[in-house]
């Protein structure tokens, strides 16, 4: 059966993958929430032990008869195209070059510092195929931050974009460039692709239990930690991503990628997952709102996996958009909470576009919950969907640890084959996050409703303790963002002698706005209980955020402390 013929068969089979149930999936005897969805026969997780991530992904490529013509990636800036056949040849060439030419062996850590490019997934899959361990980093990190990650991960080789070379040149680790450079640094991934196709492809014994990657968490509330993910974690997430794509997309859909591939969202979805479905992806090196809109129009993009700041940008700048977005059918949101208010405003501005929120962590390979239909998403605004197949969950009372039933708030715990092995060289953090029976304590405050839909309220560590009450910053931020003169906002705890902590807001005003601190305080006060009121406001040009769109509150807390000291 051909690749094109197999697609509708898979779609037809998926209709039996949803259990018809009006319940929440909650088991009163065990206190566990079970997924109301299940994988069909076409999407079972492979049990064979001698399987690695690269081997699995390559096995899902289109049949050779179609691989030469089916486009896998298109560079949005240059329009350079790579077919699935070219992609496969490049992966094998780079793997051979790394193994035979540079001596990279199973278990060696390869540190990757580069923005998105067509070469990025080639590098990742080549590393996986020889049993080496991928450790990617954010190119905007400072030289000292990068040095810490290289040292902590024990990297044996660095692969860097030429413009990032100065950040790794003094670390004493051999460096390979992504693209050619006119200086003495002549060896590059591009040259490996050209010169290594005559080398024998290395045959390395890799198992699903072997370590595949070490991804460093964003560290929004503390020190960044190395998350250990195995090949079995990645293979499980590939199956789930393939299932979700078949459940909600067409085989000829076009996706746009600006999510950075050093982040689990970008790596799992664009660096690996979409290749398992034969999808074409338009690749942006870095995010730019106008460039994103131009790419959607030029390439007739249907699907836009995004993050809340991008959705906020679309909503706030909708009246100024200079593009035809009629091809866009679906926008996904992940990596950070998307408020009910912003969701509703997006639907009002773009009524023809489906908006679905999902939930996951680096520690769970980026997955946990998902909406299988736009009807469900519209019926449950503010939710991030139901548990996807293979996942189960608990809601643990913060004080007692006891499992809670639907509509009761607590810490979300999850369990799945995608859950990490642990944190690198950090037994204390691993023990605090992973229970002995495999439950991952997410640190997120939330609840399941009576239909099994998950609502994330905030990070537990970020809750503001005001006079014994707990205030969720995300709730106040959603209210602030609904103000027509507020472009962006973040709420942090400010130490207070009487109340312990008070909510303080950092606000980005719209151009020309003269919105005052008192006006903002009153705007929020009219919509919340007295203990939740914003007590102080500071205006700022931009809210600091991670590459995945998470607010870097610790930077704002430090800023507020410095401001307080300067006034003393």
CATH classification of the domain holding 434? 2.30.38.10
Taken as a whole, the chain contains a residue count of: 568
Residue 514 belongs to a domain with what CATH number? Answer: 3.30.300.30
The answer to whether residue 445 sits within a structural domain is yes
pLDDT tens per residue across span 265-288: 999 999 998 999 899 999 999 888
Q: State the Cα–Cα distance between residues 203 and 400, nearest whole angstrom.
A: 51
pTM for this model (two decimals)? 0.82
For residue 97, name the pLDDT band (cuts at 50, 70, 90): very high
* CA atoms of 555 and 298, how far apart (whole Å): 38
End-to-end CA distance of the chain: 75
Q: What is the mean pLDDT of residues 230-249?
A: 89
Query: Confidence band (pLDDT; 50, 70, 90) for 20?
Result: very low
Sheet-wide strand order for 109-113: 175-177, 155-160, 109-113, 133-137, 211-216, 226-230, 422-423
Do 359 and 456 contact (CB within 8 A), yes or no? yes
Domain check: are 493 and 471 in the same one?
Answer: yes
Question: Which pLDDT belongs to residue 161?
Answer: 95
Whether residue 73 has pLDDT greater than 70? yes
- Range 360-379 average pLDDT: 91
pLDDT the model gives residue 75: 96
| Residue 414 sits in the same domain as residue 470 | no
Q: Is residue 152 part of a domain?
A: no
Last residue of a domain, one of 453, 481, 502: 453
Q: Which of 460, 487, 486, 489 is nearest to 472 (CA)?
A: 460
Enumerate residues 6+ apart whose C-beta is below 8 A from 154: 109
Q: Is residue 28 part of a domain?
A: yes
The pLDDT of residue 457 is 86
The pLDDT assigned to 7 comes to 39
In a domain, 556, yes or no: yes
Least confident residue range of 193-202, 235-244, 296-305 = 193-202
pLDDT of amino acid 2: 36
Confidence of residue 84 (pLDDT cuts 50, 70, 90): very high
pLDDT single digits (tens) 152-208: 999 999 999 999 999 998 888 999 999 987 666 668 999 899 876 677 888 999 999
Q: Would you state the pLDDT for residue 353?
A: 94
Which pLDDT does position 249 carry in this prediction?
67
Chain mean position to CA 411: 20
| 446 and 519 share one domain | no
Residues 479 and 552 in one domain: yes
- Do 485 and 428 share a domain, yes or no? no
Report which DSSP code applies to 33.
E
**pLDDT for position 184:** 63
> Sheet of 32-34: strands edge to edge?
26-27, 32-34, 392-396, 410-415, 440-448, 454-459
Residue 483: alpha-carbon gap to chain centroid? 28
Q: Is residue 349 part of a domain?
A: no
Together in a domain, 483 and 406? no
Q: How many domains does the chain have?
A: 2
Residue 335 lies inside a defined structural domain of this protein? no
Q: Are residues 422 and 486 in the same domain?
A: no
Question: Residue 422's pLDDT is what?
Answer: 95
Question: Could you report the per-residue pLDDT of 437-469, keeping only the tens digit for each?
Answer: 899 999 999 999 999 999 998 888 877 877 666
Domain-ending residue, one of 397, 429, 453 = 453
Contacts 24+ apart (CB under 8 A), 510-519: 510/316, 510/484, 510/485, 510/486, 513/485, 515/483, 515/485, 515/486
Choose the final residue of a domain: 419, 453, 487: 453
Q: 449 and 477: one domain?
A: no
Within a domain: residue 151?
Answer: no
Whether 442 and 505 share a structural domain: no
What the block records as the tokens of 3 is: 């690749």
pLDDT at position 8 over 50: no
In whole angstroms, give the CA distance from residue 55 to residue 52: 5
Per-residue DSSP letters for 105-134?
-TT-EEEEE--S-THHHHHHHHHHHTT-EE
Check residue 159 and give its pLDDT.
97
pLDDT for position 12: 35
Range scoring the smallest mean pLDDT among 58-67, 210-219, 457-466, 498-507: 457-466
Contact 84, 72 (CB under 8 A): yes
Give me the domain span that covers residue 537.
466-566
Q: What is the pLDDT of residue 322?
A: 75
415 shares a domain with 490:
no
**Are residue 473 and residue 443 in the same domain, yes or no?**
no
Residue of higher predicted confidence among 143 and 284: 284
* CA 566, chain centre distance (Å): 37
Q: What percent of the chain has pLDDT over 70?
A: 90
Residues 393 and 472 in one domain: no
pLDDT the model gives residue 219: 55
pLDDT at 474: 83
Asked, for residue 312, whether it belongs to a domain, the answer is: no
Whether 145 has a pLDDT exceeding 60, the answer reads yes
């Amino acid at each position: 059966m051909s690749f094109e013929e197999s697609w509708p068969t898979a779609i037809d089979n998926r209709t039996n993958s949803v259990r018809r149930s009006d319940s929440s999936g909650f088991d009163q005897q065990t206190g566990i929430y079970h997924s109301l969805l299940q994988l069909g026969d076409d999407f079972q997780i492979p049990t064979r032990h001698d399987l690695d991530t690269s081997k699995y992904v390559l096995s899902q490529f289109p049949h050779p008869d179609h691989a030469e013509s089916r486009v896998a990636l298109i560079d949005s800036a240059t329009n350079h195209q790579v077919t699935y056949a070219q992609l496969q040849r490049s992966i094998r060439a780079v793997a051979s070059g790394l193994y035979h030419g540079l001596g990279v062996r199973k278990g060696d850590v390869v540190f990757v510092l580069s923005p998105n490019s067509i070469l990025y997934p080639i590098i990742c899959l080549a590393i996986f195929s020889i049993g080496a361990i991928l450790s990617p980093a954010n190119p905007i990190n400072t030289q000292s931050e990068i040095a810490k990650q290289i040292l902590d991960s024990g990297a044996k080789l660095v692969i860097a974009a030429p413009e990032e070379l100065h950040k790794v040149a003094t670390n004493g680790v051999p460096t390979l460039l992504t693209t050619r450079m006119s200086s003495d640094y002549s060896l590059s991934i591009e040259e490996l692709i050209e010169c290594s196709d005559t080398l024998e492809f290395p045959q390395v014994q890799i198992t699903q239990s072997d370590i595949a990657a070490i991804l460093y968490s964003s560290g929004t509330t503390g020190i960044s930690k190395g998350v250990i993910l195995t090949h079995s974690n990645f293979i499980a997430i590939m199956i789930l991503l393939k299932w979700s794509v078949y459940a909600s997309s067409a085989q000829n859909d076009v996706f746009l990628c600006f999510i950075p591939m050093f982040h689990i969202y970008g790596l799992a979805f664009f660096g690996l997952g979409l290749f398992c479905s034969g999808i074409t992806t338009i690749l942006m090196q870095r995010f730019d709102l106008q460039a994103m809109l131009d790419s959607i129009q030029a390439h007739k993009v249907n699907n836009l996996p995004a993050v809340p700041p991008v959705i906020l940008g679309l909503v706030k700048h909708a009246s100024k958009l200079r593009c035809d977005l009629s091809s866009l059918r679906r926008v996904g949101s992940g990596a950070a909470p998307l408020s009910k208010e912003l969701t509703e405003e997006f639907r009002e501005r773009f009524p023809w576009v489906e908006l679905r929120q999902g939930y996951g962590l680096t520690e769970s390979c980026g997955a946990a919950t998902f909406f299988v239909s736009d009807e469900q998403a519209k019926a449950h605004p503010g939710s991030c969907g139901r548990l996807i197949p293979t996942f189960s969950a608990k809601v643990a009372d913060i004080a007692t640890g006891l499992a809670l039933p639907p509509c009761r708030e607590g810490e979300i715990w999850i369990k799945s084959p995608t859950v990490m092995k642990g944190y690198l060289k950090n037994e204390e953090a691993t023990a605090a996050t992973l229970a002995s029976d495999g439950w991952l304590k997410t640190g997120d405050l939330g609840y399941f409703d009576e239909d099994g839909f998950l609502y994330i309220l905030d990070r537990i560590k970020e809750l503001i303790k005001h006079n014994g009450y707990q205030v969720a910053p995300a709730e106040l931020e959603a209210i602030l963002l609904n103000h027509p003169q507020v472009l962006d906002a973040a709420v942090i705890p400010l130490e207070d002698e009487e109340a312990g902590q008070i909510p303080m807001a950092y606000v980005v005003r719209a151009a020309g706005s003269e919105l005052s601190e008192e006006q903002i305080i009153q705007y929020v006060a009219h919509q919340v209980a007295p203990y939740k009121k914003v007590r102080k406001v500071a205006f700022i040009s931009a809210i600091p955020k991670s590459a995945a769109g998470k607010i870097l509150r610790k930077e704002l807390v430090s800023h507020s402390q410095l401001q307080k000291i300067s006034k003393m």
